[in-house]
Amino acid sequence: MDYKHPFVLYLNVSVCIILLFLALPSLLNSREVLKVRLAFSLIFFTVITNCTTNVLILLLENYRMVPLVFMAFFIPLLFGPAVYYYVKKLLGGAVGKGIYLTLVPGIVSFGYGIFLALADNELKQHELRHIIDGEHTFFNLTNLLTLIFIIIYCVKAWVFLKRLLLDEKDKLYLQNKLKKAWAKEFIIYIFVPVFTFSIIHALVVAHSIGVSTMDMDLIWMPVFMLIVYLLIAIRSLMMYKEFEHQFVLTRIESEKQIQDQKLAIARDLHDSLGAHLTFIASVSDGLKKNSENLDDHVRAKVSSLSDFTENSITELKNTLWILNSNEITLEDLKNKILNFTKAAGEAKEEVQFHFRFQINENRTIDSKWAVNVFRMVQELVNNAMKYAQARDVWIEMEQSGKMLNLKIWDNGIGFDMTSTRANTFGLSNLRKRVQDMDGKLQIDSAEGRGTSCLIELILQ
């Protein structure tokens, strides 16, 4: 087919559009590293650039735009390095600075394009005629150098993969094994067509076969590369689906191992520490019942020991609740808060607790997130009981959509927000928890009018 046939224009435009749509999914795949996405997309944009410049200049024989041919060579010359860069970054390898040397031919070609842009129209017409006739030495050598770069960097990437040893103990071992297999397959898809195309191109330049360089650049190259890139795009899509599947399986397995470890720790705590604390509680209760004959100081110590043991058992139960739960519902969290405040009220009968829980949707929440909320409630209630000398403590928890609002206030003595007490360890720890949970914290207090704390959190 004659390269001046109208079909050639439609062919090149169609190839550019198809390749653009094939490149976009990989470029927009936020789950992959940006450098990997850019390198993979550049491989597609190389052919798009070639087809675009060939149509604008060679097909239309627009001599005024001849400088653009050589300026645009900068991108195809990056094809080989992009393949190598993609393979190494896909598997977490480091790329040496020597790769920047491949920019030199592109810079030279770009500089030659600038030279032509400043030259007169007669020279541009002369250059275009030589390119179309296949007699432009610099144009042919740059084309050939592009192909040579691809072959060299495909070989370098293959050697890297051959030497790459994966750690079977790595939790991402199976995923990396899949990536390595895909990288090898990808190199074959690139190397074999390009090597074949290089031989054919060399024969065309040497006039060994009856095909012009224009036929190669405007007809055979777009068709050839379109088939190759369709295969690459389809296979990469399939492989990335497999990567995601393997990643999910790995994460599930990892979570299962963590849960098994948590359960083992919970059992050990219950059987060892729980048993010891129960024994201590039994002994301390016995001492407390028979402490009438002891002096006041010793009796107070025995009472403190008994209270401390009970508190330790309660904390152990809370810890076991956390360890035994992978996911917790809002209702579970609500009940845990109620149990805690009930125990606190029994320990200090003069304090009255008032509740309002509004849960519109009993969502499942992350156990670590729930623990942070529970610890914050503990901190605020303990502050109200120990330091604020409060008679009443109000606890409100309201869930709406993905938001959880927690408000706790009391009618205690309060404190000056500008004093050093406002920065005590307890409150600073509270602020740190809220900050780590990407929430908002508002504390309002003044001497003689109690303390109010509002916490706004996003459910996780």
Residue 405 lies in a domain: yes
Angle, alpha carbons 266-268-269 (nearest 5°): 65
pLDDT at res. 407: 92
The predicted-structure confidence for 47-78, as pLDDT tens digits, reads as follows: 888 777 777 776 667 778 888 888 888 888 88
Residues 246 and 386 in one domain: no
Judge if 245 and 334 occupy the same domain. Answer: no
- Dihedral sign (CA 316, 370, 350, 383): positive
The whole-angstrom separation of Cα 396 and Cα 379 is 15
Is residue 21 in a domain?
yes
The answer to whether residue 20 is domain-embedded is yes
With tokens 């031919």, the residue in question is 105
Together in a domain, 240 and 352: no
Assess whether 96 and 238 both reside in one domain: yes
- pLDDT number for residue 155: 92
Domain boundary among 190, 217, 250: 250
Q: What is residue 61's predicted lDDT score, i.e. its pLDDT?
A: 73
Residues 244 and 330 grouped into a single domain: no
The type of residue at 264 is: A
Residues 38 and 145 in one domain: yes
Query: What was the pLDDT predicted at 158?
Result: 92
Taking only the tens of pLDDT, the chain with its 460 residues reads 555 666 777 777 787 888 788 777 777 777 677 888 888 888 888 888 877 777 777 666 777 888 888 888 888 888 888 889 888 888 888 888 888 888 888 889 889 889 888 888 888 888 888 877 777 788 878 888 888 888 899 999 999 999 888 887 777 777 788 888 888 888 888 888 888 877 776 676 666 666 666 666 667 677 777 777 777 777 777 777 776 766 666 666 666 665 666 666 556 555 566 555 665 666 666 666 666 666 666 666 666 666 666 666 666 666 666 666 666 788 888 888 888 788 777 777 788 889 888 888 888 887 778 888 888 888 888 888 878 888 899 999 998 888 899 999 998 888 877 775 556 666 788 888 888 888 898 888 888 888 899 999 988 7
- Here the CATH number for the domain that contains residue 450 is 3.30.565.10
Q: Are 332 and 197 in the same domain?
A: no
Q: Is residue 342 part of a domain?
A: yes
Picking from 194, 222, 250, the residue at the C-terminal end of a domain is: 250
The reply to whether 68 falls in a domain is yes
**Same-domain status, 246 and 335:** no
DSSP state of 412: S
* 222 lies in the same domain as 127: yes
| pLDDT tens digits, 4-50 | 666 777 777 787 888 788 777 777 777 677 888 888 888 888 888 87
**Taking the chain, what is the end-to-end CA distance rounded to the nearest angstrom?**
62
Whether the model clears a pTM of 0.75, i.e. scores above it, the answer is no
- Closest C-alpha among 48, 47, 45, 33 to residue 240: 33
Residue 413 lies in a domain: yes
pLDDT at 339: 80
pLDDT of residue 43: 81
The whole-angstrom separation of Cα 244 and Cα 250 is 10
Query: Is the same domain home to 117 and 225?
Result: yes
Would 218 be classed as within a structural domain? yes
**At residue 311, what is the residue type?**
N
Determine the structural domain holding residue 139 and report its residue range: 6-250
Q: What angle do CA 407, 349, 446 make, to 5 degrees?
A: 40
Q: Are residues 246 and 330 in the same domain?
A: no
- Coil vs helix vs strand at 456: strand
In a domain, 261, yes or no: no
Question: Is 96 in the same domain as 182?
Answer: yes
Residue ranges of alpha helices (H) inside 119-163 are 121-132, 137-163
Residue 458 three-state SS: strand
Domain end (from 250, 277, 304): 250
Backbone region of residue 441 per phi and psi (left: phi > 0; alpha: psi in -120 to 50; beta: other values): beta
d(CA 119, CA 435) in angstroms, rounded, equals: 63
* Structural domain count of the chain: 2
